[in-house]
Every structure is written in C-alpha cells, then in structure tokens.
Amino acid sequence: MRHRSPVEVDDVTRLANLAFADTQFPKQSKDFDEVSTYLETYAPFYFNLGLFDEIWASYLEA
C-alpha cells in the first residue's frame, strides 16, 4: 500500500488506490494466485490483468 496517492500517476498507484478502497481485497497476501483470482473473479473494479502481472513481477524483484 506504499504506492497509494491522491493523484494517480501510473498503473501501480491506481491499483494501490483501488485495493485500499476494497475492503475484501487480500491486502496481506503474498500469494500470486490468490490475488490474481480475486482480481479476476471478485474485485468490484476492473484492472488490466496483464498490468497486474507486470506489477507483481516488479514486486518480486524489489
């Protein structure tokens, strides 16, 4: 959640803001499949899953 910002400057910020606002989002999960499945199936917002894959890869590299 460190990427949240009142001004969405990029896709990472947008996803962080959407996830923060979604009370059901698995915020503490470190499991790619759990988060990806949530975004595909249950998220009350749309987010490009290809971008999510790129963001997750960057997260793992950090």
Positive or negative torsion for Cα 23, 56, 39, 13:
positive
pLDDT confidence of residue 9: 83
What mean pLDDT comes out for the span 38-60?
A: 94
Q: Which pLDDT band, with edges at 50, 70 and 90, does 1 fall under? A: low
User: How many Å apart are CA 32 and CA 35, to the nearest integer?
Assistant: 5
Shortest CA distance to 21 belongs to which of 13, 29, 10? 13
- Roughly what angle, to the nearest 10 degrees, separates helices 49-61 and 32-41? 160
- Domain range summary for the chain, segments of one domain joined by +: 11-61
Does the pLDDT at position 2 exceed 60?
yes
pLDDT confidence of residue 38: 96
The pLDDT tens digits of the residues spanning 7-44 come to 878 999 999 999 999 999 999 999 999 999 999 999 99
Helices within the chain (DSSP H only): 11-21, 32-41, 49-61
